[in-house]
Amino acid sequence: MRMTGVIRLLVLLATLLGSWFIVQTYFERSGRAISLRSWLGATSEPMSTPPQPRHKCANKRDCPADHFAFRIISGAANVVGPSICFEDRILMSTVKNNIGRGLNIALVNGKSGQLLKVGSFDMYSGDVTQLETFLQEIKDGTIMLVATYDDAATKMNNKVRALFSALGSRYANQLGFRDNWVFLGAKGLKGKSPFEEHIKNDQKTNKYEGWPELLEMEGCAPRKQD
């Protein structure tokens, strides 16, 4: 019994010495205590990701001081409506309840960026003369932003196509049934606008059954100079 007690005491001492050695080895390095996080393998504190800068209209970059930021998103099929943003202000959207099937158009002052007028024109069963009047009344220096939704071409006639072309469009003459189109033009623009995208309704390439994928365009439109 006495021998058994001695053996137990020796085992206890060995255990204590082993524990002390582990503590000294892992929790002290060069006389400096380390944290449990470091001991578990995290050698440094996690670096926080700096917040990303937010640009107007959620664009990828800022615009120069003499330019306006814009983003135009066409409708998706006949389900999701279009959206038009200008200088970080939503001009037309489903939430604002001012969009509709066909052509959705916002007019802004080319010098101040102030919203002048918005219009939604049903190009499938509406009266196209209302669109003709709207386009003919646009004054010089006005910037126009256009987004399609569902069908924007069934009622479009040659007069309307010519009016859009005069505002800088390259694709108005090609617009067909259920094509998607986004466009920024201006009255008095010399030449064609660089801000325009068009995608044909093609059963072979459509993303949605009967409709092409939506279009999204962002950019910096130059401010009208005196």
127-182 pLDDT, tens digit per residue, is 999 999 999 999 999 999 999 999 999 999 999 999 999 999 999 999 999 999 99
Q: How far apart are CA 55 and CA 218, in angstroms?
A: 11
Q: Is the pTM of this model over 0.75?
A: yes
| Kind of pairing between the strands at 28-29 and 83-86 | unpaired
Q: How far apart are CA 149 and CA 178, in angstroms?
A: 8
In this prediction, residue 28 carries a pLDDT of: 46
| Residues forming beta bridges with residue 198, ordered by sequence position | 181
Q: How far apart are CA 146 and CA 59, in angstroms?
A: 18
| Tens digit of each residue's pLDDT (9 = 90 or more) over 23-81 | 454 444 444 443 434 434 444 555 667 677 789 999 999 999 999 999 999 999 999 99
Q: How far apart are CA 100 and CA 118, in angstroms?
A: 12
